[in-house]
């Protein structure tokens, strides 16, 4: 059984994901947190169940997902971190990967994709779900002058 810690500041997202993952045969949410600080406290708590994967929102109060991912990488390197997102702003992808994040899943992905992504991250792989790939692909367009498309407005 893969045990997941879930941190998101939206209670509806936490509850919905917990219920959806309960429909899988091999994944359960062991605990939920409303922000990164609470998630870190749960990771450190001897009373909280150990988890193999953390599913984190990027933007949360008190401690965001990327800051938490950095702490997890330092203190709990065997825990896989998966970012749950609706968008990827400039710099988030690079910061997240540098912090040890092993995957990205979009909130609009299907539960089967979410489960497969969690399984892959638990196995030690780095993975992007199909929807997160599309989001990140749109963000990571070339920005150097030589790589941008030519100006055809004067043609």
At 78-115, the pLDDT tens digits run: 999 999 877 655 567 778 888 889 988 877 778 888 89
Could you report the per-residue pLDDT of 14-25, keeping only the tens digit for each?
999 999 999 999
User: Is the pLDDT assigned to residue 122 strictly greater than 60?
Assistant: yes
Q: How buried is residue 3: exposed, middle or buried, by Cβ count under 10 Å (0-12/13-18/19+)? A: middle
What are the residues whose beta carbons fall under 8 Å from the beta carbon of 35, sequence distance 6 or more? 7, 9, 60, 61, 62, 63
Helix 65-75 with 36-44: angle, nearest 10 deg: 20
**Token pair 């896989």 in the structure block, residue:** 80
Q: Are 105 and 61 spatial neighbours (Cβ–Cβ below 8 Å)? A: no
This prediction has a pTM of 0.81
How crowded is residue 72: how many other Cβ atoms within 10 Å of its Cβ?
24
Q: What is the mean pLDDT of the chain?
A: 83
Backbone angles phi, psi at 6, to 5 degrees: -120, 125
State how far the Cα of 128 lies from the Cα of 72, in Å rounded to an integer. 20
């Amino acid at each position: 059984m893969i045990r997941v810690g879930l941190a998101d500041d939206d209670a509806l997202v936490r509850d919905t994901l917990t219920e959806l993952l309960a429909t899988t045969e091999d994944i359960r949410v062991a605990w939920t947190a409303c922000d990164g600080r609470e998630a870190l406290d749960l990771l450190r708590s001897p009373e909280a169940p150990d988890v193999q994967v953390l599913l984190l929102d990027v933007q949360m109060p008190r401690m965001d997902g990327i800051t938490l991912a950095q702490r997890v990488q330092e203190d709990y390197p065997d825990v896989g971190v998966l970012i749950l997102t609706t968008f990827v702003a400039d710099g988030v992808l690079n910061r997240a990967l540098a912090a040890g994040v092993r995957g990205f899943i979009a909130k609009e992905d299907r539960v089967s994709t979410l489960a497969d992504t969690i399984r892959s991250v638990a196995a030690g792989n780095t993975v992007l779900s199909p929807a997160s790939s599309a989001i990140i692909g749109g963000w990571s367009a070339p920005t150097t002058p030589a790589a941008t498309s030519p100006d055809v407005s004067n043609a």
